[in-house]
Amino acid sequence: MSAVMQISQPNAALRSMTRADLASVMEVERAAYAVPWTEGIFRDCLSAGHCCLVVDRTGELIGHAVMSVAVGECHLLNICIAPQAQGRGLGRRLLRRLLALARRRNADTAFLEVRSSNRGAIALYQSEGFDEIGLRKAYYPSAHPSDQRREDALMMARAL
Ligand SMILES: CC(C)(COP(=O)(O)OP(=O)(O)OC[C@H]1O[C@@H](n2cnc3c(N)ncnc32)[C@H](O)[C@@H]1OP(=O)(O)O)[C@@H](O)C(=O)NCCC(=O)NCCS
C-alpha cells in the first residue's frame, strides 16, 4: 500500500513500512514492549510480504503494525504506538486501517493473540468487535525479567 492517509492527529499519516524505517521502528518497539521483536523479525515480515504499516508524524515514526493475510484470514501480529503518543486514538485508527486492508484482500476473519495482562489492548480489541476464542497457556515469556513464569495468551477473533 503506497497511499498516505491522514489520521486523527494532525500531521500523522499511515504509510507502508520500508527497510529504511527499521531503526526508528525498533526504537518505538523497544520503548513500548517489555519483550520487543527483533529487527530480524520485522525484516522477515517485510520479505514475506506481510502488511506492514507505520504511523509517520512529519518524519517521526510513532507507531507501527504488522498483519499477515492469507486464505481468507488475517492475523494481527503486532500493533504498537510509542508510549508518548498512546491514548490519543492512534491505536484504534491503525487497527481499523489494517482490518480495512484485510477486507480488501478478501479476508473474512481476523485473529490475534494478546497477553492476558494487557488490559488496554484487550479493551481496544473488544471495543472493535473481537471476541475471546481461546487461551494459549504459557505462550509469552514473562514481561518481568525477575519472573520466570510465562504468561498466557488470549486468542481473539472477529468476522470481517
Ligand atoms: C495497545 C495500543 C496499541 C493502543 O493504542 P493507543 O493509541 O494507546 O489506543 P487508543 O488511544 O486508540 O485507544 C483505543 C482504546 O483502547 C483502550 N485503551 C487503550 N489504552 C488503554 C489503557 N491504558 N487502559 C485501558 N484501556 C485502554 C480503550 O478502550 C481505548 O478506547 P477509549 O479511548 O475510547 O477509552 C498501545 O497502547 C500500545 O502500543 N501498547 C504497547 C504495545 C502493545 O501492547 N500492543 C498490543 C499487543 S497485542
Cβ–ligand 1 contact at 95 (below 6 Å): no
Beta bridge partners of 109: 73, 159
Q: Is 79 in the pocket of ligand 1 (CB under 6 A)?
A: yes
Closest atom, ligand 1, to C-alpha of 112: 48
For 78-96, write each residue's pLDDT tens digit. 999 999 999 999 999 999 9
Active-site residue, from 125, 128, 139, 151: 125
pLDDT digits (tens, 9 = 90+) for 19-77: 999 999 999 999 999 999 999 999 999 999 999 999 999 999 999 999 999 999 999 99
State which amino acid sits at residue 5.
M
> For residue 35, which phi and psi values (nearest 5 degrees)?
-125, 85
Ligand 1 atom nearest the C-alpha of 123 is 29
Query: How confident is the model over 135-145, as a mean pLDDT?
Result: 91
Q: Give the pLDDT score at 5.
A: 44
Could you tell me if the CB of 68 is within 6 A of ligand 1? no
Q: Is the whole-model pTM more than 0.95?
A: no
The tens digit of pLDDT for each residue in 106-136 reads 999 999 999 999 999 999 999 999 999 999 9
CB 19 within 8 A of CB 70: no
Confidence of residue 3 (pLDDT cuts 50, 70, 90): very low
Verify whether residue 139 is a known catalytic residue: no
- Place 148 in a pLDDT band, splitting at 50, 70 and 90: confident
